[in-house]
Each structure stands twice: as C-alpha cells, then as structure tokens.
C-alpha cells in the first residue's frame, strides 16, 4: 500500500471512534490536569451491583502541596464519567429552602462521610431550586441514558471507596457531550425550561444508598470554568478534613 492510498482499516476505526466516548475522556483528563488536578485514565473498580470489574473514565486527584508523605492527608478525588448524549439531558429541579434538605452525603472512606456530612461544605450542597433528578429527551419506552450514567458514576465512586486503604473522598462527575437543560415548575403550573452549563444534583436515585449524594453534570463548553470551581471546593474540603480527621 502506497502512502497516497487510503487505509480502509484506519478509516473504519476512525469512523467507529466518532461513536465512542474516548475523545471526551481525553478532553476531560487534559482540561482537569490544566486546572491543577492529577488525572489518571484506566483505573478499575469492582461494581458492587454486578460483581464485574469496570474502568473509570477519568480519576482526578487534588494533590496536597504541603503535606508529605501522602498518608498524612485526606485524599480527594473527582470521579468522571464521560457520555455522548443521544438527546438533550434535563435536570429536574424543585424549590428547597431548607439548607439541611439540600445537603448531600459524601462518598468517603470510614468515618469521614459522617464527620463531613453535617459541615455544609459547598461541594455537597445543592442550590435552590435544587436539582434532584436527571432525564433526557427520548422516545417513549427508550432507556434513560442520563439516569444510567448517574448510576454508573456513583457505582464507580463507591467501588473506589471500597478499594481505598487511605482516608479519601470521591466526588462523582458526569461530562456530557451534548446540551444540558434545567426544568422546574412554579405556582402557575407552567414549565420553566432553560439551557445550563453545569448543575449539581442532590441525587437519591441509587437504590441501595441510604442518603442522597451530590453528582455534578457538566457540558464540554463549561468544563474549564467548572474545573476552577471544583479545585477550590476540593481544596476547602481537603484542608478541613486533613486538619480534623486525618491520623
């Protein structure tokens, strides 16, 4: 085959790649790394619901600059699942005025979850109106890929907690390749529908979790700005948890 001739095998694989999430994964790793996080791809975990070993798309860790050796501080991670959207994703929201009701439970090792949960960190606090569910525009009877992706990223975070020997917190994040909308209804019964760049959902959709967890869903266009917010909130959490709970 000459250099000028097309390579059908490569062309076929390139076409197949357009249907996969690899491009999103590499983009997420690159942009989160640029924001100061240590990113890894290919980390595996055991899915509790199926018993199967699965891959994490991107694991992003905030490296503590001052504390050494590593066991001297609480480790904080973003667990990123990347998904191309087959239809617009919709965050369903409701007015929740009580700050305690907008509080999520951290996915953390050992006693950290209970200790952190009542401290009202922004990382685990939903706004009002608060996102509480995820859906997508789809035909009747079709699978809710958005909901399934939330299940998968929360399962990944929990699987990593089970494998972690250090004190650690894992925050689930979904990077969606497609439009994101927010929806709520006010007193007149009319839908309030608007475009969104990223949302924090206080989510109770995992069937075997006793508490709601915070899941961030982010569009590609918002990833750079979101990463700055994430780093700040992870830093605040790590500083507090290291000071009061690390041994």
Q: Tell me the whole-structure pTM to 2 decimals.
A: 0.89
Q: pLDDT tens digits for 228-244?
A: 999 999 999 888 888 76
Q: pLDDT tens digits for 155-207?
A: 999 999 988 888 899 999 999 999 999 999 987 888 999 999 999 999 999 88
Kindly give, in sequence order, each residue whose CB lies less than 8 Å from that of residue 90, ignoring residues fewer than 6 positions away.
134, 135, 136, 137, 146, 180, 181, 182, 183, 193
Residue range 112-140: average pLDDT?
A: 85
d(CA 42, CA 107): 20
Share of the chain above pLDDT 90, in %: 52
CA distances from 77 to 47, 111, 121 (A): 18, 17, 15
């Amino acid at each position: 085959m000459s250099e000028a001739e097309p390579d059908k095998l490569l062309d076929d694989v390139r076409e197949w790649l357009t249907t996969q999430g690899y491009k999103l994964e590499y983009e997420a790793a690159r942009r989160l790394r640029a924001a100061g996080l240590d990113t890894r791809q290919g980390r595996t975990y055991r899915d509790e619901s199926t018993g199967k070993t699965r891959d994490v798309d991107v694991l992003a860790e905030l490296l503590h600059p001052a504390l050494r050796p590593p066991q001297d501080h609480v480790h904080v991670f973003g667990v990123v699942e990347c998904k191309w959207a087959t239809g617009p994703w919709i965050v369903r929201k409701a007015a929740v005025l009580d700050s305690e009701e907008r509080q999520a439970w951290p996915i953390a090792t050992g006693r950290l979850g209970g200790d952190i949960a009542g401290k009202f960190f922004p990382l685990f606090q939903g706004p009002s109106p608060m996102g509480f569910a995820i859906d997508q525009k789809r035909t009747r009877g079709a699978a809710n890929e958005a909901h399934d992706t939330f299940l998968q990223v929360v399962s990944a975070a929990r699987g990593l907690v089970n494998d972690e020997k250090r004190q650690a917190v894992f925050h689930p994040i979904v990077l969606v390749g497609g439009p994101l909308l927010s929806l709520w209804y006010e007193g007149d019964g009319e839908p309030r529908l608007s475009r969104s760049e990223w949302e924090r959902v206080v989510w109770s959709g995992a069937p075997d979790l006793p508490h709601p967890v915070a899941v961030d869903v982010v569009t590609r266009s918002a990833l750079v700005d979101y990463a700055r917010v994430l780093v700040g909130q992870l830093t605040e959490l790590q500083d507090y948890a290291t000071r009061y709970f690390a041994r």
